[in-house]
Structure formats: structure tokens, C-alpha cells
Amino acid sequence: MHTRTLGRDLRVSAIGLGAMGMSQSYGPNPGDRTDMIAVLRGAVDRGVTFFDTAEVYGPYVNEELVGEALAPVREQVVIATKFGFRIENGASVGLNSRPEQIRAVATASLERLGVETIDLFYQHRVDPQVPIEEVAGAVGDLVQEGKVRCFGLSEAGAETIRRAHSVHPVAAVQSEYSLWTRDPEPEVLPTCAALGIGFVPFSPLGKGFLTGAVDASTSFAADDVRTTIPRFTEGNRAANQVLIEHIATLAQAKDATPGQVALAWLLAQHPSIVPIPGTRRITRIEENIGAAQLPLSADDLADLNELAGRVGVEGDRYNEYHMSLVDK
């Protein structure tokens, strides 16, 4: 697979793998841990070198899963994890990015991952109670000590990115970005490009919607996160079907899948964009990495760029609580 660079020198596969769904959020969790280990190792066999996890996924068990799976190939991969949530009794109960908490999380994550250095350490959400300069300084101290290689931010606004970067270089910013979530385009993407910061889209396939596998008739399990997202109400899924039908038409003309078109569009937006689609299946990994070889013409890109504005997207991407955690 082609590679791309995040920040100054963090070289990763052009398409990574988000591991969150292997431990939470998308219905019943896989019953066999060994199956998920096989998927993670199978991704490496197919050229994926960039893996995303977080202490809050599970909590904790996702880091342990990723660490165990990638231990035999540690020198071949880049592992990103995150700090920033306050976790009590097995659940996140708010934010905490105080410097002493960042250090404690780093120590625990290093142990769970079984590594000597965290390749990319993101602040998971911006904590309004802690100046971002203090956060950047705390991660910078960990970099100096060799416990962290690179600093990242998640769902951060442009001004926060600039302030953090002035204290310690930000290698990557992670936010939701896809053909139906264009929020980073006005300010965040230009800021990252100007500062030499990589951009990592999560949910690049719209939590499954942009693959064509979800429609108005889809039933979600009670513990599926999509039951809490306004964009995934039955009515909004029906309204948004026009979007996926258009993508599917282009995909068919190119002998590709809708998901591959959605990922190829992201890759074409900037050479330092590295999407991290999540999956529990090797077949989906093979499909996703095929997007790196899918050519889109200037006309294709122009058409897709205008698509969401032309047909509209119904429903917010988060519920009210989670929208409150997004830095503006």
C-alpha cells in the first residue's frame, strides 16, 4: 500500500484501521477475541501499518486487544491511542486533561499496549477546564522522556490547533470527515495544511452508511451507537438515501464499491489525509485498502465535492451531549 506522512515524520499506510468497533459501539461485541486478533494481524499482512485505539474504548480492553495482536509485528506498525476522558466504574463521566492525568494515562496505556513508546498520543476531546498550552506541554514532556513519539488532537477547532502547535508540534488532528460530514473543511483542514499537520478522518464511511449497507429498513441492536445519532433515525436514513445512490452509481461505473469511492475521495483531498475506517472483517479491510488504487478524475471529484450541498444531508452527526464535546 502507498504510505503518507503525518506531521514531520510519522510515516503510515495511506489507509489505517480504527479498532474501536472491535470492543464497543456497533452492536454485540465479537465473542471470540482470537477472531479480532486475526483481523488485526491480517490487516498488517495486507499492508496496513496505522492502528487507532483509546483507553476509553471498552474501557481499556481495546488497547489490550490491539497491543496483544500487534506485539509480534510491533516494529512494522504505528499505534495511536488517546487520553482525555475521566473514567469511573467502567464508563466515561466527563473530561480530564490535567497534566497529572495525561501522565497517568500514558503510563497505563504503555502497559496495556505492551510498548515502550506511544507512537501518536491524541487528546481525545478538548478539555475547556485545562488550557491547551498545558496539555501540549505535558505531552511534550512525555516526548522528551521517550514515552510518546508524536502529539495529536481530536475534534479540535482551528484556534486550539494553532495554540497547541505553538507549544509542541501537533503531528495529526483526528475528526469526523467524509462525504456527508464536511465540518473540517472551512477552518480545520486549511489550518492543518498551513502548519504541516496530518489529518486523520474517523468514520470516513459514515458509520457504515456510505458503504450502502445501511438504509431506512436497517435494524440496529439496542447497544449500537447509531441508535443515539440523529442522522440515523429512520426518516433521516430515508432522506439521505439520495446521497448513497449517487455514490453507488459512480462506483458501479468504475467497477468499485461505494465505500471505495468514499475513501478515494478523502485520499484525493490532501496528501496528508489518512482515513481510519473500522471493521471486524478481513473482507472489508481488503475492500477498503483497494480504495488507494481507485482513480477519480477531476470531474468525478468536482461532482462528489458538490454532492452533499446539492442533495443535502439530514440530521446531526452526534446527539446533543456529544456535540457539546466538539471544540469550536
Q: Which residues are catalytic?
A: 57
150: which strand partners? 120
- List the one residue out of 86, 183, 209 whose CA is nearest residue 174: 183
Contact of 264 with 304, CB cutoff 8 Å:
no
Backbone angles phi, psi at 214, to 5 degrees: -120, 130
Provide the total of helices (H) and of strands (E) in the chain, helices listed first. Answer: 12, 11
Q: Is 192 helix (H, G, I), strand (E, B) or coil?
A: helix
| Residue 28 CB-density burial (10 A; 0-12 exposed, 13-18 middle, 19+ buried) | exposed
Between strands 148-154 and 118-123, the pairing is parallel
CA distance 298 to 287: 23
For cell 448513497, name the residue.
244
